[in-house]
Chain A
Amino acid sequence: MLALKVEDLSVGYANTMIIDGLSVSIPEKKITTIIGPNGCGKSTLLKTISRLLKAKSGGVYLDGQAIHQLPTKEVAKRMAILPQTATAPSGLTVFELVSYGRFPHQKGLISLKQEDYDYIYWAIDVTGLTDLQDREVEALSGGQRQRVWIAMALAQGTDILILDEPTTYLDLAHQLDILLLLQRLNEEEGRTIVMVLHDLNHASRFSHYMIAMQAGMLIEEGAPEKVMTVETLKKVFDIDVHLATCPYSQNPICLSYQLCQKD
């Protein structure tokens, strides 16, 4: 089953096309990671999926429906998106921020209902924030803050969770902490997770499905063994890699690498 389908998508600013005729399929109830060099169009792809950018042609389909034609609130009930640069206004507490995740399910000026509270407390609990829920988001560490945003997206109660570089700016342990949380959400709750990661080894270790992009085009997609190859990584990042096997996931990982010789 497919969660999201990108069909012949072209997106661009003015005269330059960032994404040109891209088609990818994102499987349901799996973790999918998009990899690629800076400027390859992966953020643009996520921004188009999250309706921030409009497609020049082609489209993104959610359960077969074009997301740019669905009411935006309807999309928000099925798909939660965590942008890369989310910053909380000062003075906002963890509980308050997470409670905004219920917005797509609310009407008018009415306050939270019992069902909303249930979702919020569950999201706070599952992200391990119970002790911090009345603290100000601004006062938390980077890793905790990222978990608060994930909790907000979880409170949205969607089947699909999209995250743009959720581990950027975090130290090694906190990066793993976030990825293990996402893995648990996938395994225990059956959530479809789509994310952009820069760390190839994390991508390989935690993903069921990988999408490698370069210059707005798809280079390779499939299971980590299919994407994490010397040839593909050379095409995508212009690097020569030495591959090894991850002792945790048995997927290929990049042991070390060298820039390709230009001649």
Chain B
Amino acid sequence: METSARASAKLGKTKGNRRARPVVATLILLGGTIALLLAIGLSISFGAADISLKTVWSAVFHFNPDLTAHQIIRDIRMPRVLGAAMVGACFAVSGAIMQGMTRNPLADSGLLGLNAGATFMLAVCFAFFPGLSYIYLILFSFIGAGLGAGLVYGTGSLAKGGLTPMRLVLAGAAVSALLAALSEGVALYFQIGQDLAFWYAGGVSGTRWLNLQIMSPWIILAMIGAILLSRSITLLSLGDEVALGLGQSTKAIKFCGIIIVLILAGSAVSVVGAVGFVGLIVPHVTRFLVGHDYRWIIPCSIILGSLLVVLADLCARMVNPPFETPIGALIALLGVPFFLYIARKGGKAI
């Protein structure tokens, strides 16, 4: 009796601690959404033509086609900023899923060759099917992401001793270099360098409503899928054997997870090009804040990933106006030290 009372007292004391993580996660979801909306507003108002936040508000909610400012907002700035938000969410969630499913802390669509694969496919499309509509481009981008991932896992598995995080990253670097070289070769031979330059550097300036219209259904479906899979991903992050023992059908989950990752990374690359590191940074930061439950990690990654890329795009325009700094380069400034930090921690299983 006495022991049980003591135990329950102890439980009472520690329960608050245990509840803390969902609370933090909810705060991130709420605060992050507010911050994201603010950042989107700010980003729309900032640019060559001076537009106030108030004008942004009225352009969104009381659109007047006769005003030039409203037209700039509607036709140019809104799609690019919304594109940045979507792309950030895509890269972040694809990174989170990859890290969870493979227990590889260095998993990121850029590091594991998905981005390079998608870019290569886009180069092929530009060379052989010029003028292909975006509906098909995005599909080729999915296939390209799959090609990149397949090559990386393929070469990685050839090594004796199986796939370690480091080996995968090495294979990713090699395959990415190869695919980038091939894309450049295709670009030179077919003289499409101009069209492609944008995808190499990474930038959201070319985003149009059409792109958003076509990619949103894919992204929304993939995000719903990711959230539905989130609990299973948590289990997979304990290792295949443990997950199987707990009654998880690991093969089916991995298959669905891979499809979702390819859709997310492929859509993102088809809009902004090969922007790396978002999928590396965001899930790690999120995991640090909300703990290990992917039911929280995935929604929080959506918000934080969007926020990161929207802010990066804003900075990209502020660093050296009127020129745009490629956002890929800006995010790499953050991403490379972060990569080194994670790699230094030993590339341990997460």
Contact = CB atoms under 8 A, between A and B. Distances in A.
Interface residues of A, number: 41
A77 B242 contact: no
Sorting the interface of chain B by its residue count into under 10, 10 to 19, 20 to 34 or 35 or more gives 20 to 34
Contacts of A95: 14, 18
B17 A77 contact: no
B239 A50 contact: no
Interface stretch (A6-14, A96-104, A180-188, A220-228): A96-104
A104 B234 contact: no
Contacts of B17: 134
A109 B235 CA distance: 13
Interface in B284-319: 287-288, 291-293, 295
Given A87-B239, A90-B348, A109-B295, A50 B245 contact: yes
B246 A156 contact: yes
B245 A77 contact: no
A101 B246 contact: yes
Given A51-B244, A87-B349, A130-B10, A103 B235 contact: yes
A123 to B, nearest CB: 13
A83 B248 contact: no
A100 B238 contact: yes
13 contacts: A52-B244, A72-B244, A75-B247, A81-B244, A85-B241, A89-B238, A90-B348, A91-B350, A96-B291, A103-B246, A109-B230, A109-B231, A131-B10
Given A80-B245, A92-B292, A109-B227, 20 more contacts: A50-B244, A52-B241, A72-B247, A72-B248, A72-B249, A86-B239, A86-B242, A90-B350, A91-B287, A91-B288, A91-B350, A93-B291, A95-B14, A100-B235, A103-B248, A125-B7, A130-B11, A131-B10, A134-B14, A134-B18
Interface of A: 47, 50-52, 71-77, 80-83, 85-93, 95-97, 100-101, 103-104, 106, 109, 121, 125, 130-131, 133-134, 153, 156
